[in-house]
Amino acid sequence: MKKDILLIAAGVMALAACQPKEAADKPVEKQQVAVQDGRFTPEVMWSLGVMSEYAVSPDGSQVLYALRYTDMEQNRNNTELYLMPAEGGEGQRLTTTAQSEFSPVWYDDNTLMFCRGNQIVSMDVKSRKESVVAEHERGFEGFKVAPDGQSLVYISTIPVVRPEHLDKLYAGLDKTTGRINEDLMYRHWDNWVDEIPQIFYAPLAGGKAQMDKVVNIIDSTFESPMRPWGGTEQYNYSPDSKTIAYTCRKKTGYDYAHSTNSDIYLYNIATGETRNLSEGIMGYDQNPVFSHDGTMIAWESMERDGYESDKLRLMVMDLATGAKRDLTEGFDYGVSGISWSKDDKELAAVVMYRGTLEVFAFGQDGSIRQVTKGMHDINSFQLNGDNIFASQVSIQYPATLYAYNLGEDKAEGRKLSTFNDDVLSQVRMGRTEPYWIKTVDGKEMLTWLIYPYDYDSTKTYPALLFCEGGPQNIVSQFWSTRWNFEVMSGAGYFVIAPNRRGCPGFGMEWLEQISGDYGGLCMQDYMSATDYFADNFKQIDRERIGACGASFGGYSIYWLAGHNHDVVPAYADNLLKGGYDGGRRFKAFLAHNGMFNFEQQYLETEEMWFDNWDLGGPYWDWNNPQVKKSYANSPHLFVDKWNTPICVIHSEFDFRIVASEGMAAYNAAQMRHIPSRYLYFPDETHWVLKPQNSLLWHRNFIDWFDQWLKK
C-alpha cells in the first residue's frame, strides 16, 4: 500500500492539496496560542508551524527553511521562507506573500532560488531583491542548479495525449466529462493520470533560464520522477555538470501497474545519449548521488520486482569500470536519503532501526557505524562538510532542525530551530515508554506505550490500540497530523502502538513474515500487545479498550472486528476467564480507508504488483495455496461475528483503496444492527489534508471513542 513514512513528499502533497486555485490576498500568519490546561488538542496541533524543506548555505553558515502555517477559518495554508544561523536560534523571515514558496536552493552564499506559483525566483539575501529566473505555464515542481551554475534542471508536467482513434470521439464535445480508457494506470493513488512529470534541462545566462533552449531529457511517455512520492531527490548533476543521473520506470499502462522495476539512467547533456546504469536489477532503483570526485555514483536499490518493501540496499558503482558493490550486504536493514562524506570514504544514510530512524555511516571499506541515537526519528538530513543538519521529529514534537557531526557515535543531537517552542512549552505531553513484549511464537516485539497527558497512577484510563498501515511500515517516533499520539493522549487515553510483524527496523525475517499472512501472526501480535497491557497495567481499564487504524490498519480493524468474540486464547491462561467486556477485547473500533473485501479490492486498486505480491495474485487463481490463504482472511467473510460499535471513515479520491470498501463495511454494520458511524470525505485522498476536514476527522475520532469508552 506504500508506506506513510515519506513525510517530505506527503508535506508537499499537503501543501498543494490545501491551496485554493486563487490564493488569498494575504499570507497566513502565525497564531498566538494559549493552551488550556496543558492539553494537546487537534486545534493546538494545527496551530503549529510545519517545516517542510530546508537548505544549508554552501559555506555552512546559514540554514534556510520553509515554514507553513494554517488559517483554519479560510481552510488554507501558506508557506514562507526563513533564514537562521547554522548555530541555531530564531529564524528571520525572508518572504511575505499570499503564494507559497517551495523547493529552496542556494545558488551561492548570498543568493537563493525557489519556486513560487509558475515561476522560479532568485533572491539576494542581503537586499531581499527578487528577480524572475524562469516562468512556465504548467509551473514547476522543483529544480536543481548545476554545480558550475550554468544551467538548471527542473520538474514540470506534460499532458497525456489521447490516442487518435479515441480523440475523434470527443469532436465537438468540449463540455463532456467522460473518460475513455483502454489500458491500466489511468489513475494513481489520488489523481487521474491526465499529466505526467518529466525532467527538463535549461541553460542559464545572466541570471535567467533560457527557456527557448529547454531540452526534455526524458522525451517520452515515461514519468520521471516517479509518482506519487518522487521529487528532486530522484535526479542529480555530476560534479562537472556534464551529465545528469535520474530515476525512471520506463513502463506505461499494464506493464507499469504490474512492476516496480525502475532504473538509474545517465544522461549526457552534450550528446543527448542515455545509459542505463542499473540494468538487470529488477526492483526499485532510485535517488542517485555522485561522489564529490565524480568517479562513483550511489543509489538506493531493491532486488526483487513487484515488492515495494524489499530491502533498500546501498549500491555504489565505479563509473569507469561499471563495477557495482552493495555496501549493505550482510546488514539486515534498508537505507534512504544517502549522502557522500566530503572525502568520499563514507556514505551517510537514514536507517529504520529498532523503532527509530537514525543516521548510519557506511564505509567504502565495508565498515558500518551508527552516528545518531535517541527517542526520535531523523526523517532527512543534509551534510555540509562533517556537519549534519537534520529534520527530526518525535512523538512529542513536529519537524525541528537538529545538528550532528558525521564523526559522532550514537549522538543525541543539538536542537537548532525554535519556531514552535512558544506553543509546545505550554503543553503537557504524555510520556512515551518502550516495551519489549513476548509474542505467541516467543519472539520480542517493541511496543510504544504513550500515557495520558494528565496521568495519575491512582486512576484508571481507557486505552487505544493503534494499528499501523503500510503494511510494511515502522511504528517509530513519528509525528503526524492524522495519527497523532499526543492528541490521543491529550484526549485522556493510553495509546498502545506495537511494531507487529511486517514493520521494518527489526530485520528482514520480521519484515517479510506478513506477506501472504495478513490474518496470521501480525494479528496475533496486536492481541499479544493488548493483552499484555490489559493484564499488567492496573491504570489501564481492561473494559475500556478501543482500536483504530488506517489503510492496512483499517483492514486490521475490520479483521479484529470479526475476531473480537474470544479473548482467552490458548497461550493466555493467565487472563480472566470470560474475557474483557462481555467476551470482547475491544469495546469500540475506528477504521480509516481500510480494505474490507479482498476480491473487490483486487479489481479496484491501481498498482497491481502490490496485491500480486502480498495476496499472491488474483482471487480466481484458486490452485495457488497463498491465494486461498490470503482471500480466506478477507474481513467481509467474518461480518457475522461482528459485535462491537464501529466508525468507518473513507475518502472519494483514495484510488489505492476505493471508497466503496468503506461504504460496504459501514453498510454491513448497519445491516447487522451494530452501532456504527460513517464519515465520508468527497474531496480527500488516502490521507486527510485539508485543514477543516482534518479538524472534523479528529473531533469525530475523539467523540466516537469518548462515546463508547468514557460513558
What confidence tens digit (pLDDT) does each residue in 637-662 have? Answer: 999 999 999 999 999 999 999 999 99
**H-helix segments, 365-484:** 421-424
Residue 71 has pLDDT above 60, yes or no: yes
Residues 443, 400: one domain?
no
Residues 519, 536: one domain?
yes
Residues 418, 485: one domain?
no
pLDDT at 565: 83
pLDDT at 16: 40
654 is catalytic: yes
Residue 522 has pLDDT above 90, yes or no: yes
**Which of 96, 123, 150 represents a domain boundary (last residue)?**
123
Residues 556, 456: one domain?
yes
CA distance to 303, 318, 319, 381, 671, per residue, from 323 (Å): 17, 5, 8, 28, 62
Residues 9, 26: one domain?
yes
Whether 341 is covered by a domain: the verdict is yes
Can the peptide bond before residue 471 be classed as cis, meaning omega within 30 degrees of 0? yes
Residues 387, 349: one domain?
yes
Residue 611 has pLDDT above 90, yes or no: yes
**What pLDDT band is residue 579 in, cutting at 50, 70 and 90?**
low
Residue 573 has pLDDT above 50, yes or no: no
124 is catalytic: no
Residues 6, 92: one domain?
yes
686 is catalytic: yes
Between CA 283 and CA 103 the distance in angstroms is 28
Strands 235-237 and 243-248: antiparallel
Residue 569 has pLDDT above 80, yes or no: no
Residue 42 has pLDDT above 60, yes or no: yes
Between CA 586 and CA 310 the distance in angstroms is 33
> What does the pLDDT average to over 123-151?
97
pLDDT at 13: 37
Distance of CA 418 to the CA centre of its chain: 24
Residues 373, 503: one domain?
no
Residues 531, 409: one domain?
no
Q: Render the burial of 339-363: b for 16+ CB within 10 Å, e for the rest.
A: bbbeebebbbbbbbbbbbbbbbbbe
Can the peptide bond before residue 228 be classed as cis, meaning omega within 30 degrees of 0? yes
Residues 555, 634: one domain?
yes
**What pLDDT band is residue 306 in, cutting at 50, 70 and 90?**
very high
Residue 12 has pLDDT above 60, yes or no: no
Q: Render the burial of 503-515: b for 16+ CB within 10 Å, e for the rest.
A: bbbbeeebbbbbb
Strands 646-651 and 676-681: parallel
- Specify the number of domains making up the chain: 3
**Which of 123, 144, 162 represents a domain boundary (last residue)?**
123
pLDDT at 577: 44
Whether 296 is covered by a domain: the verdict is no
Q: Which of 238, 686, 694, 698 is catalytic?
A: 686
Q: Which of 528, 551, 556, 651 is catalytic?
A: 551
For the segment 168-207, what is each residue's pLDDT rounded down to a tens digit? 999 999 999 999 999 999 999 999 999 999 999 999 999 9
Residue 72 has pLDDT above 80, yes or no: yes
pLDDT at 2: 52
pLDDT at 217: 97
Q: Are 694 and 42 in contact (CB under 8 A)?
A: yes
pLDDT at 25: 79
Q: Are 423 and 44 in contact (CB under 8 A)?
A: yes
**H-helix segments, 147-216:** 164-167
* Mean pLDDT (the chain, rounded): 94
pLDDT at 676: 98
Whether 231 is covered by a domain: the verdict is no
CA distance to 174, 222, 401, per residue, from 300 (Å): 45, 20, 25
pLDDT at 18: 38
**Which of 422, 444, 470 represents a domain boundary (last residue)?**
422
Residue 674 has pLDDT above 70, yes or no: yes
Between CA 259 and CA 349 the distance in angstroms is 26
Lookup: cell for 318: 565505479
**Domain interval for residue 6:** 1-123
pLDDT at 3: 47
pLDDT at 220: 86
Can the peptide bond before residue 58 be classed as cis, meaning omega within 30 degrees of 0? no
Higher-pLDDT residue of 367 and 583 is 367
Q: Which residues contact 178 (CB under 8 A, 6 or more apart)?
A: none
pLDDT at 652: 97
Whether 499 is covered by a domain: the verdict is yes
Residue 4 has pLDDT above 90, yes or no: no
Query: Running DSSP on this structure, what letter comes out for residue 213?
Result: G
Residue 576 has pLDDT above 70, yes or no: no
Residues 523, 412: one domain?
no
Whether 367 is covered by a domain: the verdict is yes
Whether 21 is covered by a domain: the verdict is yes
Whether 560 is covered by a domain: the verdict is yes
Residues 342, 454: one domain?
no
**What pLDDT band is residue 1 in, cutting at 50, 70 and 90?**
low
As a whole-number percent, the residues of the chain with pLDDT over 70 amount to 94
Whether 30 is covered by a domain: the verdict is yes
pLDDT at 566: 62
Q: Which of 654, 676, 694, 698 is catalytic?
A: 654
Crossing angle of helices 552-561 and 521-536, rounded to 10°: 70
> What does the pLDDT average to over 284-308?
98
Between CA 310 and CA 56 the distance in angstroms is 32
For the segment 524-545, what is each residue's pLDDT rounded down to a tens digit? 999 999 999 999 999 999 999 9
**What pLDDT band is residue 140 in, cutting at 50, 70 and 90?**
very high
The two most distant CA atoms of the chain are separated, in Å, by: 80
